[in-house]
A = this chain, B = another copy of it.
Amino acid sequence: MTQLIIDQALVDKARGSAQNIARQVKQAVDGMTTVTIERASLRLLGIDGVDAQGAPMVNIVVEHLLAQDLLGQGAVTPVVAAMERRGMTAQEVASAVACGALVLTKPDGNREAIKNKALQLAGEACRKISANRRQREEMIQRLGKGSAPQLYLIVATGNIYEDIKQATAAAHQGADIIAVIRTTGQSLLDYVPYGATTEGFGGTYATQENFRLMRRALDAAGEAVGRYIYLTNYCSGLCMPEIAVMGALERLDMMLNDSMYGIIFRDINMRRTFLDQFFSRRVNAYAGIIINTGEDNYLTTADAYEQAHTVLASQLINEQFALMSGLKAERIGLGHAFEINPDSEDGFLWEIAHAQLIRQVFPQAPLKYMPPTKYMTGNIFKGQVQNTLFNAASVMTGQTIHLLGMMTEAIHTPLLQDRYLALENARYVFHTMRHLADEIEFKPTGRIQARANEVLAQTVQMLAEIEQIGLMEAIRRKMFAEISRQPDGGKGVAGVINKNDDYYNPFPDLMQGGASDDTATNSN
């Protein structure tokens, strides 16, 4: 692998700051939970489905608990208590609550017995997830998987059945990873839609049934092409923890999952986001899922040259949050993007400097590299050229998860042929340049080296400053993506709940440190 000369002491300093920043945040929110964490926990207990009006059962139960002022102790114990009391399944408890036949109360009986019961039920849920993880590992063992940079393709028809057709064709054409893009607006829904759906805009609803249908199709495609096909979705937005649970249960392999994206790009409340990301990452860690962070998005609103250091700073913070939740370094897919201005002289050099710097600062991370989007135009022929250079940068700097650029990026979500042409482009470039990264060195006195040093130095400084003022204040000051958010503002703030002293939720502890038989290093 090509090497830049990097001052490890600076890297350590930056990482130290990031650790402190993440710890401060964790402390600040430790006494709180959120409605979606509680709903996610109920999903793990086995509650699913919707009522006649389409409201998910978990929402009904959690709102019921909120109304009874019971959520501060967590949703798990009241439900388990009712299960014990009535001899019902969790789902039956939910139905009873939904039709008004049951009112949940503060558990009065033996709290320890209820906790034990909860722990036992939670253990069963964990075993299901473990089994999925093992099945993934076995399938990869048997079928193999794409070699890095792995080819990551999106489908975005809005209709899960069309998505499946296109995803299957993509797998046959060479895709290693399929991401089902989510419909616009879903991230701001405070519930997860239900069932198979065919009506999304620029993407398809993330529902458990859609996950299941696509998983089945990709398993079949994987068998046919002799390569395990990874499935990706969005563990993001107001229902981040619930989607983590759905993904764990349906054996998704990757999740877009960021510690700050929702705050910055969806104006979701900060505390809510920090709480939700923590819970969902613990689930993802347990499920052996690779997360993809969203720093690439910064460069769609801010300039890739001016703001390169904000990407690296954010990645270091994201890394610390992820490690804290129990994710292994090998599953932290930090995101960045080839958004350098095509009109800038030597722009490719700056891009290489940045991509290589990130590669070396996070040697174990399965880096996710996003294609040019902002500077793509309706000129599809030029678009092919931009994507070719992106592909070249990726293979020259040893990126891991390579999101394919579409020549029609500025026009529409990908057509079948756009995806084919993108795959053909990347496959050719990767193959013909396969070992280029091993062959070239950057001049120690050169521009690329100097640029990498500069970005690293700026990053160290930025993180030192954030360590002083705190992350929430930093976001308020537009330090990421040039967007400002208020610590107490944002969507979903009402869903942040103070925990009572008797708050109990078996899952975070049970899932801590991942599953004991996890083999992170081998499986991705």
Which residues on A are within 8 Å of B, measured CB to CB?
340, 342-349, 379-382, 384-386, 388-389, 392, 407, 421, 424-425, 428-429, 431-436, 438-443, 446-448
Contacts and interface: CB of A to CB of B under 8 A. Distances in A.
A346 B385 contact: no
A379 B441 CA distance: 34
Contacts of A438: 443, 446-447
Query: Which interface residue of A389, A421, A432, A433 has the most chain B CB atoms within 10 A?
Result: A432
13 contacts: A342-B428, A345-B431, A345-B432, A346-B433, A347-B431, A348-B432, A348-B433, A349-B433, A349-B436, A392-B392, A439-B443, A440-B441, A440-B442
A66 B445 CA distance: 68
A396 to B, nearest CB: 9
Contacts of A345: 431-432, 434
A169 B342 CA distance: 23
B392 A425 contact: no
Given A440-B440, A440-B441, A443-B439, A428 B346 contact: no
Contact of A432 (B346, B435, B440): B346
Nearest to A440: B440
A434 B352 CA distance: 13
A439 B439 contact: no
Contact of A381 (B389, B407, B436): B407
Given A346-B433, A435-B346, A443 B441 contact: yes
B388 A428 contact: no
A429 B389 contact: yes
A435 B418 CA distance: 32
A445 to B, nearest CB: 10
B442 A446 contact: no
A385 to B, nearest CB: 5
A435 B450 CA distance: 14
Contacts of A443: 438-441
A27 B385 CA distance: 51
